Structure 1
Amino acid sequence: MSTLIVFLPPRDPAVPSQEWLLPDMPFLLLDKSGRKERAGRAGLAFLPRAATTVLIVAARDVLMLSASLPPLKGQRLKQALPNVVEDQMIQDPQTCHIALDPQPLADGSRVLAVIDRGWFRFLVEAFAAAGHRNLRAVPVTRCLPAAQSAPGGLAESGAIGGQDEPPVAAALAGGEAGAAAASQPESPLLSPASLVVAVLGTVRETAQAILADAAAGAASVVPEAPSPSSAPLASADPRVEVAIARGSLGEGLAVPASALEATLSALAGDTPLDVFELTDVPGAEPALAPHAALPMFGRASSDARIVLPAGAKPLPFEALARAAIASRLDLCQFEFESRPWRLDRATVRRLRVPIGLGVAALLVAVIGANVQWIVMARERDALNAQMTELLLNAFPKTTVVLDAPAQMKSQLDRLRLASGQLSPDDFLSLAARLARSLGPLPVNGIAALDYHDRRLDLTFKPQVSADPDFTKRLAQSGLAGELDSGTGKWAIKNRNPGQ
């Protein structure tokens, strides 16, 4: 099955929920064998369709925590999760969506991914409305390479498109470090003694952009009296989007470009630090992307004011996307669990043509069945009328006609009996009169009794023989019996001369 990986922008806290919009987003489309089929940048409505859509969620939008969970499952666990993380959060946990990492930590605790429920619902519903039914959401901190400075630290690995892929560090780094990372056994958690930082690009300051536009408008109206705040806004230090992975945990920051190196040094302390720079983002070339200040949509070092720490390594966008596929953590849990055939408005819109054809076929079948029933009912009524007319013509004394075929059969049987002919029911009459004519002969002495050609063929058992008065008793019952000396069978029939 094909897979679409989309890199989401972070939520801007300055924008209210009713004004949330998704800009053009970089994406990577893989075919069912895991080969790159297409890459680029597009708006939500123009993203290619795939069997599975993987969303890479910005680090600032997801907080990764570790906590010990009560032994609950399902809805009860979902209701208990806000109370578990309440002491570690400033935001009200009731307004957050909390997902569980399927892989427990060594001490038995679990990693929890916390994201604003309103923002996550907006993302899921927006992609579902655009036709992306099978969704997965992975924090970008779970897509970072392994810390090469900490031995034994590994990133998540797994199957991509049905093929086994090495860890991200092995895909990125060459030489001994990459070979060592690829040779290690699979482990979904980074080493807790390592610190991995990825510089993802500059942040678009929505609030500052609005103030700058207002200041520019005021300056155009009164050019001789420029706003004193316009200079600071124009020369504002850009902020850099940073994703930080602390072992299996992670968070995101927006750091001023001038303070990037100092901030990373303060965060790392004595911990080994590996810095990566997101590169090869589709559509991030200056000729194709004049608005290079969009968050996570270009190289962080494209701005001369952004100084990366020494030893920063490149992180290709394709490697980040493939790591998202291999990640086991999925934010789409509980009420956001992917239901590809959920019956909602989008599904109804996609299925309205097949549903319309099915309803039309059902209507045609119902109408056709009713028309055929009406035609056959009229034929039945005409046939019943003909049979009734035939019965009344043959037997004029019939006053009531309830079942013309049965009444005709009954009348014909009576005529046969009146004329001395046997009817199809004469076997019962012959057998009853034969039973009365047996007399002292035992009933179980009969070996065979056949009825054909309007007569009974009676065969007695070898130890039973008919007495001399047997023929007389048959005559008294209106029967005539003849013995075939060759076969020993009695031929019994009606004594009526007409037979």
Structure 2
Amino acid sequence: MSTLYIRLPSKAVAEAVEHWLALPCPYALASGDAVEREGVASLNELAATVAAAQRVVLLLAAADVTLLRVKTPPLSAAKLKLALPNLVEDQLVTDAGECVLAAGDMLDGLRTVAVAQRGWLDILAKTLAGLGARQLVAVPAQLCLGQQAARATAATMEYGGTDIELTLRLDASQGMGLTLAAETGASGAPGEVLAALAALVPAMPLTLYVGQARVAAYHDVLRTAGGVREINVFADNWSLWIPASGKLAPNLLAGMTIHDGAQAQWRQWRWPAGLAAAVLAVNALGLNLDWWRLKHEASTLRTGMVSTYKATYPKETVILDALAQMQKKVAAAEHNAGRAQPDDFGPLAANFDAALNEQMRTQNMTTAAPIASLEYRERALLVRLKPEVQLSAEQMKPALAARNLSLNLANGAWQIRSVQ
């Protein structure tokens, strides 16, 4: 899975410029722990890389995240999340509701809790989601610095030669950050950084990571200052940050409800969605055209039938259903001419007799006169069989259906009708 790591400027640095999205941000695109590409670019310039990466990890400036050590009761993750504001409110200088709290691991009986301003995190999350980030994680930068036993670790990031982000890690669970305003001049930034580190960790051995171009300047300042304190200066590189960024550092965005990039992903789907909409529009147009064609054909047929009916029966003035009225007229004419209709008594009785005899042969019945009564009423036969004839209506229905007859029960009798 491709992961994009971005070291962000602090809120103070971002607010000091007009367009903070143009600030340089060190980044690395990695697969696992192997770095595929790295460099320094603004968030605007990283838009395509952000959208292509499967996961984006934001390393929040250490100055924007406060790490607290809190004793917590044994609670589930969900209950601990609800209890955190009450557990840390005494250590906060602002309302806990304005902060995002993320619990880390337990160490020496205390739990590390990362605290950051909700408003700033919301801006970052929405900005990255707008750039197309799919899965977004935000971790404190101070907990991503490589840790060394009995040594403090620090790293710097300079913006425009005046603002310096200082990240300091003291041990496995403690770290901090400062935003420094450096003096102008070649040695201004190194002098400010080393003075701040001397105040924060006056006696502890220190490893300092700075930009490749700044290593010599820091060495010069250290040689000039002298002293017996052990300070090692090396070039900053992503192998210091990536291993710890996804293992121990708490995710500050896990406690927020943000847009996860689904809206931004709409831009990637706009052409497929547009194509699908076009296909639906073409299909809808085709269906409408087909409906209009069928409607026109139906209207033509209806007009033709009415014209034929009027020509055949010119005295008829009321025409509600030309086809049904024509069928009735033809049936009446055939009846008047002596032609038997399927629902006349003769055809009904003959077809029923044939079906009954066929079914009795199938059932090996030899009753000579199986019918007890036979009536013709309302163009239907009402048949009652003798008690000794053991034929059910369900047995008779297939034979009757083969002769276009239907069978229904009416007052204990079989009602036989033509279905033609």
TM-score, length basis structure 1: 0.58
Task: Determine if the alignment matches structure 1 residue 132 to structure 2 residue 133.
Answer: yes
Q: Secondary structure at the match of 2:241?
A: helix
Distance 2:363 2:231 in 1: 117
Query: Which residue is 2:41 aligned to?
Result: 42
Distance 1:373 1:434 in 2: 44
Distance 1:302 1:427 in 2: 119
Q: Relative to 1, partners in 2 of residues 1:432 and 1:267: Cα closer, same or farther, differing over 3 Å?
A: farther
Q: Which string of whole-angstrom CA distances, capped at 9 and with x for unpartnered residues, describes residues 108-136 of structure 1?
A: x6432111233323322332233334211
Query: Which residue is 2:400 aligned to?
Result: none
Task: Please list every run of 5 or more consecutive structure 1 residues that lacks an aligned counterpart in the other structure.
Answer: 150-195, 210-237, 287-297, 436-445, 452-456, 474-499
Query: Which residue is 2:6 aligned to?
Result: 6
Q: Relative to 1, partners in 2 of residues 1:90 and 1:384: Cα closer, same or farther, differing over 3 Å?
A: same
Distance 1:395 1:464 in 2: 52
Q: Which string of whole-angstrom CA distances, capped at 9 and with x for unpartnered residues, describes residues 380-439 of structure 1?
A: 00011112222333344544322222222222322333333333445885339979xxxx
Query: Which residue is 1:250 aligned to?
Result: 175
Distance 1:202 1:461 in 2: 105
Task: Determine if the alignment matches structure 1 residue 448 to structure 2 residue 356.
Answer: yes
Indicate conservation of the 8 Å contact 2:9/2:165, yes or no. no
* Larger deviation, residues 402-411 vs 67-76: 67-76
Q: How many pairs were matched up?
A: 352
Distance 2:40 2:85 in 1: 36
The counterpart of 2:253, out of the listed 328, 332, 355, is: 332
**AA partner of residue 244 (structure 1):** R
The counterpart of 1:241, out of the listed 141, 162, 166, is: 166
Distance 1:240 1:340 in 2: 28
The counterpart of 1:421, out of the listed 339, 342, 354, is: 339
Q: Secondary structure at the match of 1:97?
A: strand
Offset at 1:69?
Answer: 5.7
Query: Which residue is 2:378 aligned to?
Result: none
Distance 2:303 2:173 in 1: 89
Distance 1:65 1:416 in 2: 103
Q: Relative to 1, partners in 2 of residues 1:350 and 1:34: Cα closer, same or farther, differing over 3 Å?
A: same
Distance 2:196 2:216 in 1: 11
Q: Relative to 1, partners in 2 of residues 1:249 and 1:201: Cα closer, same or farther, differing over 3 Å?
A: closer
Distance 1:44 1:250 in 2: 26
Distance 2:252 2:10 in 1: 15
Q: Relative to 1, partners in 2 of residues 1:460 and 1:126: Cα closer, same or farther, differing over 3 Å?
A: closer
Distance 1:73 1:45 in 2: 36
Q: Secondary structure at the match of 1:246?
A: coil
Task: Please list every run of 5 or more consecutive structure 2 residues that lacks an aligned counterpart in the other structure.
Answer: 181-191, 376-420
Offset at 1:56?
Answer: 1.2
**AA partner of residue 385 (structure 1):** T
Query: Which residue is 1:367 aligned to?
Result: 285
The counterpart of 2:207, out of the listed 276, 279, 289, is: 276
Superposed, 1:52-451 pairs within 5 Å as: 52-68=55-71, 77=81, 81-101=84-104, 103-105=105-107, 107=109, 110-149=111-150, 196-201=151-156, 241-253=166-178, 256-259=192-195, 262-263=198-199, 265-266=201-202, 268=204, 275-278=206-209, 284-286=211-213, 299=215, 302=218, 304-306=220-222, 309-310=229-230, 312=232, 316-327=237-248, 329-337=250-258, 339-341=260-262, 343=263, 346=264, 351-426=269-344, 430-431=348-349, 448-449=356-357
Distance 1:64 1:143 in 2: 13
Q: Secondary structure at the match of 1:305?
A: helix
Distance 1:264 1:434 in 2: 111
Q: Secondary structure at the match of 2:246?
A: helix
Q: Which string of whole-angstrom CA distances, capped at 9 and with x for unpartnered residues, describes residues 347-402 of structure 1?
A: 55555544444444444333333232222111100011112222333344544322
Query: Which residue is 2:368 aligned to?
Result: 465
Indicate conservation of the 8 Å contact 2:143/2:169, yes or no. no
Distance 1:461 1:427 in 2: 28
Offset at 1:43?
Answer: 1.3
Offset at 1:240?
Answer: 7.4
Indicate conservation of the 8 Å contact 1:56/1:140, yes or no. yes
Distance 1:203 1:389 in 2: 93
Q: Secondary structure at the match of 1:5?
A: strand
Offset at 1:328?
Answer: 5.4
**AA partner of residue 111 (structure 1):** T
Q: Secondary structure at the match of 1:84?
A: helix
Indicate conservation of the 8 Å contact 1:261/1:309, yes or no. no
Offset at 1:246?
Answer: 3.5
**AA partner of residue 335 (structure 2):** L
Q: Using the aligned pairs only, state the percent identity.
A: 28
**AA partner of residue 465 (structure 1):** A
**AA partner of residue 364 (structure 1):** V
Work out which structure has the larger RCO, using CA pairs closer than 8 Å and 6 or more positions apart in sequence: 1
Q: Secondary structure at the match of 1:332?
A: helix
